[in-house]
Amino acid sequence: MIVNTLLIGASSGAIYALMALALVLVWRSTRVVNFAQAGQAVLSTYIGYEAMNVTHSYWISVPIAIAFGALIGALVDILFMRVLAGRVQRGPIAEVAPVIATLGLLGLIQSVIGLIWGNAFVQYTSPLSGKGFSIGNETVPFSPQNALIVAAAAVVMGAFALVFTFTDLGLALRAASFQPEIARLAGIKVDRIRTIGWTFAGAAGAVAGVVITPTASLYPNSLDLFFVSGFVAAVIGGLESLVGAVVGGVILGIGFAFILQYIGSSVTFLAAFIILMIVQLVRPHGLFGHKASRHA
Amino acid sequence: MSAGLSVKDLSVSHGAIKAIYELSFEVAPGELVALIGANGAGKTTLLRALSGLLAVQAGSASWSGNSLLKKKPEELVRSGIVHVSEGKSVIPELTVQENLAIGGLWRRDKADVRRATKESLELFPALQSRSNQRADTLSGGERQMLAIARALISRPELLLLDEPSLGLAPLIIEQIFESLKQLKAERGLTILLVEQNAMSALKIADRGLILNLGRLVGSGTPTELIHDPQLRSAYLGF
């Protein structure tokens, strides 16, 4: 029983981890909490859905959706965030404005999706089975599609961790996000680097959308709850750390699974916020976050 | 056409408040000029305008005959103009090694970046044993050394330094200023050094400029400035 609950928790945790990874990527590149992430991811998934209708192949639709997700991320930065940053440079509003803007963008994207595709549920299906693997006579609550979600989370985390840690681009992304002015004075093209950060996050969000959606249905708000859990997971992990996002997602997924199993479904969503508050009170910088600089 | 830095009738405002009034001066190639003035004199504003961080309302500024205005800071770095801003201009969350590396990220000649990094560490040996430490674990002096070392990795022709002595102990200030003297003498680097610490800056400068409320109120060799009783008592504070 406990093993089954852990498996359920791990697979839903991987879903939250994927959403959390996309959030962390934007945060690490731009210091913005991107509330439009769910909208960007669901729009990319609709593109994948259309690609599958044309090609009749889930596997062809996946890279198309990811490419569009990356493009959407880049366009959000170039057409929206960059213009906003140019207009609001100083004062307390300069820090808050981009976050508020992403909330507005979420509403805009979801409304546009509703206008194009309507609000009805559609099915974006994967050839992988949603039925659990069989071990002997027993069927475990962990399907091939769940395995794909876990693998996608591991690949996204690993790939971006490598980029951020070992490449010049990763160093430029970190420098531009921590201290954009100093990065500029060191010769880094901060605007371009930020666009790359949004592009990466858009692609990661699209990965989340195309692997999660076959386990449910697709509609304009279909990723909203996953996003909220992903946000909680990212904060648990420290908002800064890619590993933290995955650990936060898994903690949340397993926590939900046990609550669902032993307490009931009515309190699972409430539990997310209780966990968030406990983490904020006990470890405000999250499990993998750093304290602010002692001298800066 | 001036071969060095040429600033003519430059005016800069912060919104409705004018901070620099029709300022004109020149810095010859290889010269170390100290720009001295009290808080609010407009020194930092001037450097920010020269490095592309602030828009200029009127006038001109050029380096080797090429205008510095309406260019982004990152473009100016690529033209050899590097600004080390006020307050130990390092990225606290990055290690010493990473802070140094960002100075050369844009450069294609990676062999020269490695050479420049080695030279910078030789100039500031205190940084050598700290390469894997985060910059926020360094002392104020080490952070200032790191900021200058990073700037040098970009191979600047003109170095704009904003208050490198701010908040540092006299011994450390002496060490940093000695390094600036060495950079000028050995590499022919042109340096515009903004300082409140007039005495230390004039000790190493070829010339001094005195700025007060956005206007140039005095200029000359360190000896001339130090021996002008009016300038000395009104602006130099000693």
Q: Which of A164, A173, A177, A182 is best to mutate for the B interface (most B CBs within 10 A)? A: A182
For residue A289, what pLDDT is reported?
A: 73
Contact A20, A253 (CB under 8 A): no
Q: Answer whether residue A295 shows pLDDT above 70.
A: no
Q: Is the pTM of this model over 0.80?
A: yes
First to last CA, chain A: 50
Does the CB of A148 have a partner CB in chain B at under 8 Å? no
For residue A294, what pLDDT is reported?
A: 34
Q: How far apart are CA A58 and CA A64, in angstroms?
A: 10
Q: How many CB atoms lie within 10 A of CB B186?
A: 10
Contact B152, B183 (CB under 8 A): yes
Please name the residue ranges forming H helices in chain B.
Answer: 43-50, 73-78, 96-102, 110-123, 140-153, 170-187, 198-204, 222-226, 229-231
* A-B Cβ pairs (cutoff 8 Å, strict): 80
pLDDT per position as a tens digit, B207-220: 999 999 999 998 99
Phi, psi of A88 (to 5 degrees): -120, 95
* pLDDT tier for residue B238 given thresholds of 50, 70 and 90: low
Average pLDDT over every residue of A27-34: 86
* pLDDT tier for residue A292 given thresholds of 50, 70 and 90: very low
Q: Are the beta carbons of A185 and B140 separated by less than 8 Å?
A: no
Q: Answer whether residue A60 shows pLDDT above 90.
A: yes
Average pLDDT over every residue of A171-194: 93
> How high does pLDDT run on average in chain B?
91
Domains, in order of start, for chain B: 5-236 (3.40.50.300)
- Top CATH class of A2-130+140-282 equals mainly alpha
Sign of CA pseudo-dihedral B65, B66, B70, B73: negative
Average pLDDT over every residue of A263-283: 84
CA nearest neighbour of A176 among A166, A165, A184, A168 = A184
For residue B17, what pLDDT is reported?
A: 87
Average pLDDT over every residue of A130-156: 88
Q: How far apart are CA A122 and CA A219, in angstroms?
A: 7
Q: How far apart are CA A287 and CA A279, in angstroms?
A: 8
Contact A187, A168 (CB under 8 A): no
- Contact map slice: B 119-178 vs A, CB within 8 A: 136-137, 140, 143, 150-151, 154
Q: How far apart are CA A116 and CA A219, in angstroms?
A: 11
For every residue of B114-154, which 3-state class applies, written as one string?
A: HHHHHHHHHHCHHHHHHCCCEHHHCCHHHHHHHHHHHHHHC
Does the CB of A188 have a partner CB in chain B at under 8 Å? yes
Average pLDDT over every residue of A203-209: 94
> How high does pLDDT run on average in chain A?
89
Average pLDDT over every residue of B144-156: 95
Closest chain B C-alpha to A288 CA, distance in angstroms: 14
Average pLDDT over every residue of A67-92: 87
For residue A286, what pLDDT is reported?
A: 85
Higher pLDDT, B231 or A55: A55
Q: Answer whether residue B60 shows pLDDT above 90.
A: yes
Q: How far apart are CA A24 and CA A180, in angstroms?
A: 18
Q: Answer whether residue A166 shows pLDDT above 90.
A: yes
Tokens linked to A112: 């546009």
CA A29 to chain centre: 14
pLDDT per position as a tens digit, B61-91: 999 999 999 999 999 999 999 999 987 789 9
Contact residues, chain B, for A295 at CB < 8 Å:
88, 92, 136, 140, 143
Q: Are the beta carbons of B91 and A290 separated by less than 8 Å?
A: no
This complex has an ipTM of: 0.92
Q: How far apart are CA B40 and CA B29, in angstroms?
A: 28
Contact residues, chain A, for B132 at CB < 8 Å:
none
In terms of residues, how long is chain B?
238
Average pLDDT over every residue of B115-119: 95
Q: Answer whether residue B98 shows pLDDT above 80.
A: yes
Low-confidence winner among A135-149, B16-30, B50-64 (lowest mean pLDDT) = A135-149
Tokens linked to A233: 């997971």
CA nearest neighbour of B98 among A163, A165, A289 = A165
Does the CB of B103 have a partner CB in chain A at under 8 Å? yes
Q: Which residue of A has its CA nearest to B151?
A: A186
For residue A275, what pLDDT is reported?
A: 84
Contact B231, B37 (CB under 8 A): no
* pLDDT tier for residue A296 given thresholds of 50, 70 and 90: very low
Q: Answer whether residue A89 shows pLDDT above 80.
A: no
Q: Where are the domains of chain A?
A: 2-130+140-282
CA nearest neighbour of B124 among B205, B200, B168, B183 = B183
Q: How far apart are CA B188 and CA B31, in angstroms?
A: 8
Tokens linked to B15: 């919104």
